[in-house]
Structure 1
Amino acid sequence: MATFLLIIIYLAFISLGLPDSLLGVAWPVMQTDLSAPLETAGYLFMAIAGSTIISSLISGRLLKRFGTGNVTFVSCLLTACALLGFHFSPSVIWLFVCAIPLGLGAGAVDAGLNDYVATHYKAHHMSWLHCFWGVGATMGPVIMAQFISGQHSWTNGYLAIAGMQFLLVIILLLTLPLWNKVTKKSHKGLNEQPGYTTDVTNHLEDGMNVKPLQIKGVKLAMLSFLFYCGVEATMGLWGSSFLVNVKDLDAAVAARWVSLYYGGITIGRFITGFITFKMNNLTLIRIGQFIALVGAVLLFLPFPPVFSLIGFIMVGLGLAPIFPCMLHETPARFGKKHSQTIMGYQMAIAYTGSTFIPPLLGFIASKSSIGIFPFCIVVFVVVMLFSSEKLNQLMKKKVTINKETSSAVSS
């Protein structure tokens, strides 16, 4: 029963990923059809992500009142209707109207399912959960590319994705009774991996009742989440425009290349789920950041277009372990007492990165050139790497100090 429900949750995360990559790959065609400025895609993305932030902030109260199953069902219904609205939208204004329910539905699903899996399933399922988001994010551009190349119709691409969403809504409706049954068995696995020892690193803070934001390292962790999501969202939104306008690729070919970026995230997270049994989160985060940096540099250098394809795939593979591993490391870094609150802060700042960083790049590109895209990706990855390494150094010092304090108290 628990395994069957887990399959349903994975399907829900596929549906969460499907719309995330559509706007970016379809925009070169949408921009022409709607006679819209380049930066409009950034504003649409901001509307979607802003609505996601709002629904994430209120998701806790909704989940407690209505339960994860009901919230997931209604949220997926919202996203399906919004995608259908994109198909019928006659102008940019209607796209903005449909962007609101699309974001509201996505935020509630994301927060609810992450919490449910963390509470009721073992730790490695977190990586696989986000792997299935990558499955959806990879399928989205492939499906859209087929409609762009075959019919030159982005509207029918949205219609196809909406149909898939409505199919999931029916499945969720039929399986609603399963959610309450599975909650009887909880499989927590927040600290199965070697890393920081929660009791040692956070004993003093817990004892002094320190507020979550006052705990050392929290702000550095939030900075890492901000720029991680900035990189991931910017690659998805502007990658296709960069390939079309700078590398002179056909829009359908660019869409397929961007799908390989999401494919890198998907495959990387699937593999990460197995690697977590042998390697700790900190090492996986560091390796991922270095791989992403190499991929970003390939985009930046004036090499033939095929190197851009390699760069997109490498950035995707590099990003794969970072987000789920940073989420999983939260209780070990800052203690179980504050982990839920800090997790909420991290998700909020992550959505902030998705909301504001891609539109900011779009605004700058509209005043200069989309050619700044690879330079910005390199800068974002470097800032993420720097904040992450500073956090690791701080945590090591914290471990040493608290161990010495604990030894002194015991003696």
Structure 2
Amino acid sequence: MNKKITLLVLLVFSLTVSYAQNSPSLAQALTKAKKENKLVFIDCYFTGCIPCEQMDKDVFPNAAVGKALERDFITLKVNVFTEKLGDTLKVQHILNGFPTFLVLNGDGKLLVNTSGYQDPGDLIQLLNDAKAKYKKGAYLSGYAAQYNDRHYPTIYTEFAKTRKGLTKETLATYSASVKDFKANYALLPFLIARTTNEQVSSEILRDYAGYAAVYGVEVLQPVIDRILQQAVDRSLKATSSEAEFENFLTEKARLFTSKEWKVSLQTIGERYFLGLKKDTTGYLKFRVKNPTINNFHLTALYNNMLVKKQLNSERLALFAAWANGAVTPNTTMEIIKAAANISKAAGSLADHKKFLQMAIDKAKKYQMPYAELEAQLNKAS
């Protein structure tokens, strides 16, 4: 048994080291991708980044992930703080979280920019989305295919490399000088700072779909969150009526596609119910009515309330109902597992077993470990 475990550890380590050491240069990767009709997948990381280490340990050695990458991608791994290419990518493509995963076509055009830990299923879906965009000829035109330091606003370049120099005042001065925020790279200082001002908010809300197509939903969303938070603060208060809140939602919903609006509802609900009204139960009822999950918020809120002993039977039932409406087979594995635990805590054995089976099915599909999940399901049956 010990020999088998040692062999497995060595195999995982060798796969990870190979992934890191066999990376070509970006120019070589782009040339090879174009020649072989593949895409370039760039893993942007830094030493000491825990989610980055989890990707190296649990995800990149995964057989299904390895097969998907080998078949359609040229892989590149970049330490953003020790490699010169790291500075280039920080300016060229906005790296606001780690790990950041970039997918480029053979011409260097950006198709995908996303950050944070991805389980094998998440990562394979990301790769499939990138391939679908490539087949359509789609890409994010707000980012340069070839890097030229002189093309960018000076305040942006400095901040991208050092995280210094962008303040409310410098951004105000900069935005006052911009005639067209759809001009090349004009919006980048606000996107990297994940903030806004009245002028920028007005411009983005005038054509959300256009800006999302140019810069990508994920990079744009933090700015949208800030815009909506400010809108809640201006238009609503703790004593606002239900009708006033619904009117606010109706007014803002017109600005977004249905998919992006579901994400924005989380931002609005947090600000209104948790921020202004201090009404956690009201917020949970709102999430049951609008059941989406973005950025692990369900599990973060649940665990926080569990630690603070703020959960009662009503709130447990609401969490379970929220999970029931939002969690699907395509949801991140850790959230599916959390939904199983929440359902159990709420007293719903049927939903507990449903989510365990969902997790097992996903694990089998993406060649992830599932013995522990099966043991839990057998125990519950």
| TM superposition score category, shorter chain reference | under 0.3
Structure holding more helix per residue: 1
Structure holding more strand per residue: 2
TM-score (normalised: structure 1): 0.21
- Answer 1 or 2: higher relative contact order, Cα 8 Å, separation at least 6: 1
Question: Which structure has the larger Rg?
Answer: 2
